[in-house]
Chain A
């Protein structure tokens, strides 16, 4: 990619059926980093320092949302480099990206049909539960952020052992805010323990169902609250907090 960008290179994956790669690349660009397009069929991460797996309907949600994409050549490399103890590539999954990371085994649990069987499209308040992950240090503990959500299969489920592990290790990243009339909502989709996003034990692999890349500018979204996620990763990359990363 040419242009004036000189910041760290952050990859944005495109599968057949991906919708939100353009907005994800725009969010990366807003931080001053350089978005690098990664193609599903290429087992090549083009020397990026982090990867965003954006939302959409990869492979038409055939079989299960994210199931086919999880086996794509680019994801095999993402998984390999995320798991490599020498590389520990930071990865963010958004919406379909969350589903893909779970299907690929990078994060535990699964995303299933919303309890009311509806496609939910609205602005959603989230509470930030973990502010030490690579993708969340820019937030204050307990901060409430407003970002859009739009999905039909966003109900997070996992068995009790996994849920206890996530809670015990502080790996619940975001929860749906369910109290307060101005929040206008209960848990929107029946997700266990109101979970909207989780992360890996080392905080490098993170994912959420709502869309921070649609909330980076008050001109085009409900807030700019989503920028914190992308800026957190930029901080981690530029300050060298990613010891072991290339």
Chain B
């Protein structure tokens, strides 16, 4: 078994009114330094060894995200495949990575 994270966000060219509403709320709560918010979705998957990176790409692009309006990133959290957490990420950025 492996754990995989899929993060989906709306493409930059598409208006994200939810992100704008959150940005306005941040300004009202004293966080004027935040200049942009884009709201997205996060999926945690548990997959067995038969699920290849190509399968994950199909899962993300074929159902979890809509390629017309969204982009996505796939991260294998246990680092057993080529989707290993990239260098430079703080060790505590993803607690699951230690599992």
Contact = CB atoms under 8 A, between A and B. Distances in A.
A113 B68 contact: no
Contacts of A117: 17-18, 21
Nearest to A109: B68
Nearest to A158: B68
Interface stretch (A21-29, A63-71, A175-183): A63-71
Contact of A67 (B14, B18, B63): B63
Given A110-B69, A157-B69, A115 B15 contact: yes
B2 interface: no
B68 A110 contact: yes
A51 B33 CA distance: 52
Interface string A52-80: 00000000000110010001000000000
Contact residue range for chain B? 10 to 19
B63 A190 contact: no
Interface string B17-59: 1100100000000000000000000000000000000000000
B14 A63 contact: no
B66 interface: yes
A102 B10 CA distance: 16
B64 A63 contact: yes
A124 to B, nearest CB: 20
A71 B15 CA distance: 27
A113 B17 contact: yes
Contact of A190 (B15, B18, B66): B15
A109 B66 CA distance: 10
Interface of A: 63-64, 67, 71, 102-103, 108-110, 112-117, 155, 157-159, 190
Given A112-B15, A115-B17, A117-B21, 4 more contacts: A63-B64, A64-B66, A103-B66, A112-B69
